[in-house]
Structure formats: C-alpha cells, structure tokens
Structure 1
C-alpha cells in the first residue's frame, strides 16, 4: 500500500472527493471490523498458516543465521513455482526484493522516466499506478481493456510511447491477459522497441494466469519488466515482498534506482514468504481459491434481486468483487455505509482517464473472514435497498 496522507472520515465528502485517492479511502477503513475496502488479505489463518506463525521464533533464528542471498533465492523460487512461473530469471539483479509492489512500482517508474516520456497504461486500474508513473513526469495514454484483449494496439499509440503497462489479472475487473495475447503484445513491443511492463499482483487467485509468463516474455525478444506481489494472498499482517523482475535487455537503470531507495527486505519476511508458498504448493493455494469463491458467492447472494444492481465482472476470480449500483453513485453508497461503520471502495478513481465511468460502481474486498463479510454484505443490501 502506498503511504496515504492522514485523513479522517469527515475529510472525504461529496464536495472534495476528487482530491482523494483510493488508498486514502482504504485508510479510513483500517480501524473498522467491517472493512471491505482494501484488497489486502485480512481473513483468519488456516491451520497450515497457524503452524507457520507458531514457528516464528525458530524462523527468526534461522533467518538471522542464513545468508540473505540464500533466503531471497529460496523465497522467490518457491513463490514462482507455486504460480507456474518456472522460467523466471535467477541471480544477479534481475529479481529485486522490495517492501511492497508499490515500492517496486516506484523504482520502475523512476527508471523508466530516464529513458521514456510516455506510457500506454491499461484503463481502468488501481490509481496508484498512474499516480506513480505520472509523478515521475511520464505522460499517460489509456489502453481500454476491451481493445487490449481484442487485438493489436494502435500503431500510432505504440509509436508515441516508451512503454506499455498492463495489470493482469486486472484490479478491479479481474480480467486476465491470455498467453496468446501476451505473446502478441510482447511481439508488438519488440517491433517498436518499447518496454512491456506487467503488474501481476493478483495472479495467485486465478489459475488462468498461471501459464509461464516468463517463458513467453523471454521467447519474444522484447524488453520487459514484471512486478510481483505476495501481499494479496496471505493474512500476514502486511508482512510481504514485492519483486521487481526484469529482462536481460530491458535497458533501464533499475538496479541503480533500487540502490537509491533500499538495501533489501527483512530476512524474516523472506523466510515467511518461503514457508507460506510451500504451504500453497501443498494445497493451501487451492484452499484459498475455494475460500474466495465462497465469499464471492456470499456477496452475490446478498445483493441478488436488488433493482438496478448487477455484478460488473461475473467471470472474475480475483479477491475483489465489483458491483454496478444502477442509478446510485459510489460516493452516495459509501457515505450511507460509513454511517454503519462499513467501508467499501468507490470505483471512480480506478478510471483514472475518465472518472465518470466508475461513478456508479463499488469494489468489495473478499479476503475477509466470513462472519464480518456477511455482516458487511447485509448492510450493503440494506443500504442499496434504501438508496
């Protein structure tokens, strides 16, 4: 999560909502037991997770005694194996460990800005991506999801940018870039000598995104970079790693910018990621998929039959669910929910190039324990029935 300006609930009102970003909305929800706003993992521990947490003292001593390079390599190798990314780079500076995917995104943005002045960016997507890119002086051109998935990108667009940036699975829609489409997109970027960047932070939730992206990227001959994230999968109280992975010929000063910002991440967190990924390989990932699917069905059951309300992304498997609210605006519903101490996320800011497109939608986080999610969903139904 990016660092939000400290704001209180009274600071976000209809008149000044344009001044606030999605993370600031999420910040307001952190102290509520009915927080269904941010996409971080806040559900209870599974039995497998609990065993790992019980082993923290031994893990601390083990991490303190081991070389960081060994811990890093073991963590990312296990994590990538869990998600089918068998052709990932190894060693050197091609896999860099960051505190979070947002830190990885900041490093990438700064590095890209030394070689390019414009980016073609998927639309919609979480607003810290356009914020970080534009904050480094890069001009942004939207790439609509339908256009991205249906065929080749516009030649004039590709000639005018230094990078194409895609989130897959996308947040908030959950749409996954297919293997064939990724291969063609990488080919297009190679033909125009521009960087292809992927944010795969929600990859773990959708087996359709578990084909070997790195095999496709390496075979394409393109210049590429991938941002990976462990923070959405496991309820580790935001102890997580973001990885910044780059192709050998990416041509950006990523390692230098990385060294300007951080030295590395906690060895203990690396050991935790390794252990949680091992649990995922042993069946924990499938258990997570079933859990999220059950919570998705709970939300859909609660809002079923409400006039004008429909599921915006019926095929999504990500740990978030987007609702179209009919004539209601996201801010109206957010304000009514806040009175019940329930916090979801209005979708206006996801549509960074055209905020009006998200005015009548909200996003609900599904990585929550079932009882509070059910309470929040009941409040959601009550509010929607009355607004």
Structure 2
C-alpha cells in the first residue's frame, strides 16, 4: 500500500492507523497543567464565542499571536487574513501567483505539500537548494546565480531540516530581502514553524515585518498555530502580505472562505496567551526532551541524527548504510508497526537525495514516544 502513495499526507493518513505513528508533525502530546484548565473551560469559551462579535475575536487572536511572536509592527493592523489551515493560506498564495503568471523558485528540501499545492494550481516551482542560504556572506550572490524566476519561496524554519536564516541573527533575512528588492522578486515566506525558533532559547524572533515593510520588498508571509499546540487540529493560519499586495490577496481570500470558527478563534487564543505566560515552556520541553530521547535510543544504529539549527518538532536522520534506502527502511519498519516518513518526498524535484534520510515527528507524549522508539530501534537493527 505505501509504495503507491502519492504524497506525504497520504503517508500520514496511513500512519494515523498505526500504533507507533512517528510520521505526521501534528501535535499529539498531552496537555500541560495550564492547558488542561483551558480544556476544562471549553463550555465557557463556547458561550463566550457566541456572544462576542467575529471581528473582536479575530482582532484578539491576531493581537495575542503577534504579541507572543514579538511581531509588534503588525499588531493592530488590518493586513492579516485568517483561515482555518495553513494549506488554505498556501492555496490563496498559489492562486495569486497563478493569476499573475509568476514563476517561482522554492527551497528544497521542504514538505511536499507546498510544491504539490502550487503544481495543482498551475504553478510549477523550480528548486533552490537550501545550501544557498547557509552562509550569510554568500546568500546574495548565490541567489543571483541560482534564481531565474519572478518569486522566491522560502520555508523558515525549514521542515524537515530545521534550518533557519536566524542562525546569524538578522543578517540572513536582510540579505534575502536585499536580493529581492534589488532584483524585483516577490518574496514568499512560510513561517509555520516559527514558534519553534521562538521557543528555542538560542534564537527567539526579531520583528521580521518591521524589516520587510521598511525595505520596500513585495512579500507574502504565512504563519500558523497548527504545529505548535495540542489542539486536536483546531487551528488558525495567518497570511500577511505587503501593503501593495493586500487588495488582491483579500479578494482571493474572500473567494475561498468567509471566516474561521469563532469558537476555534476563542479557544486557540487561550493557548497562545498560555504560551506567553509560560514563555513557550510547554512546547519547548516536550520537543527538546523527545529529541534527546531519540538521539539516545537510536545512537549507534543505522540512523544518524542531523543536528537542526532550530529545535523544531521533527527530527531528520541520515541513513548511515549506503546500501539501505529510505524507501526500503520505511517499508521494513512499517511492517513492524512503526511509521516514519521517507526523505524522498521532501526532495520534491528529485527524490534520489532523499533516499538517504527519514523524518521522525517529536510532538508526542514522552512515554508513548519512548515505546515507539524502542520498537523503531528493533526494526532498524533488523535492517542492518
């Protein structure tokens, strides 16, 4: 069955049927003590949402989100469009690119949902290797040498590798923006994993929108709550374009949906505020603890942990033995009831480099995660 699957999402659907699901990056960890208090208050949140105007709930959510993330320059602004999933915001972005017949360069590797959405809308991205972004002193020149399209589409932090331009503070983003301004490129930023940079004590976030708006670059920025908190997939995505693009993006967005559920907005806002109060501890501790456990339990096996720049909620492992491919390893561990994602799909333009990697999801209950790792280690050792 797994050999016939078209994309990573179809793999994740299969993984949801398994006992040891280490595939999808959705949040399956348990609630923290303060989050349990939010769950206990769900009836009150429901009735509060009934009695509160939609616009008030939307503004409250956006203000709480951007306050948590330190993006103060867009707090209280009118440019941010909400939807109930990051995929919807990506579709709106892709529709804009298709309408304007803009060609796109997209970072590789990245989650295959992005190129798939674009292709389904008639936009066929060309790859930009992530390595182009690794050295801030060379970013500008390497983009000049690499990008031949109208738009540049980056994912930061990147899924699956955990790379971020924040590695060198503001410099990486500044160089990308400088290139886009000088060469008249539209910059599209998928920031859906940005909460993990915020939670990582080595990084945090500076006010990126202040940089973007001050530079004059044309941009579309996508953010999300879906991979951050254990919300049973109740979530909200944010799309913020530069002022010149807002009218067009607004018109496309309203053709797709009216609004996000007022109850979901009210519910998710409480989780955002909770993370403001605990400084992202509930997110950081689960991910960091499970990453450390994965490294410990898989040490000395076929799988070699690839250290991310940002401690995102997925772990990227290289297969040490050149004779074992990711596709083969995936099949053999799946037969033992453990589901990981093969790296082939992340290398969306050419799957061959992805045969050296697999991805594990970390947003899991630590006790269940430990049992899944034990089963994975047994299966991996049998492949050696």
TM (norm. structure 1) is: 0.92
Change (3 A) 1:157 1:145: closer
1:60 equivalent to 2:46? Answer yes
Change (3 A) 1:139 1:156: farther
Name the SS for the 2:192 alignment partner.
Answer: coil
1:134 equivalent to 2:119? Answer yes
What residue is the counterpart of 1:165 in the other structure? 153
Q: Which of 12, 22, 25 does residue 26 from structure 1 map onto? A: 12
Q: Which of 307, 318, 325 does residue 313 from structure 1 map onto? A: 307
Q: How does 1:137-148 map to 2 (within 5 A)?
A: 137-148=122-133
Q: Which of 315, 330, 333 does residue 337 from structure 1 map onto? A: 333
What residue is the counterpart of 2:188 in the other structure? 197
What residue is the counterpart of 1:349 in the other structure? 345
Cα distance in 2 for residues equivalent to 1:204 and 1:251: 24
> Which stretch has the larger CA shift, 94-103 or 140-149?
140-149
Runs of 4+, deviation exceeding 6 Å: none
Structure 1 position 279, deviation (Å): 0.4
Cα distance in 2 for residues equivalent to 1:44 and 1:336: 29
What residue is the counterpart of 2:31 in the other structure? 45
Change (3 A) 1:329 1:316: farther
What residue is the counterpart of 2:2 in the other structure? 12
TM (norm. structure 2) is: 0.92
Structure 1 position 363, deviation (Å): 0.5
> Which stretch has the larger CA shift, 248-257 or 130-139?
248-257
Q: Which of 73, 76, 98 does residue 113 from structure 1 map onto? A: 98
Contact 1:174 1:318 in 2 (8 A): yes
Structure 1 position 41, deviation (Å): 0.6
Name the SS for the 1:139 alignment partner.
Answer: coil
What residue is the counterpart of 1:5 in the other structure? none
How large is the RMSD of aligned CA atoms in angstroms? 1.6
Cα distance in 2 for residues equivalent to 1:304 and 1:314: 17
What residue is the counterpart of 1:282 in the other structure? 277
Structure 1 regions of 5+ residues with no counterpart?
1-10
Cα distance in 1 for residues equivalent to 2:101 and 2:151: 8
Cα distance in 1 for residues equivalent to 2:218 and 2:300: 48
Structure 1 position 156, deviation (Å): 5.8
Aligned residues: 370
1:187 equivalent to 2:182? Answer no
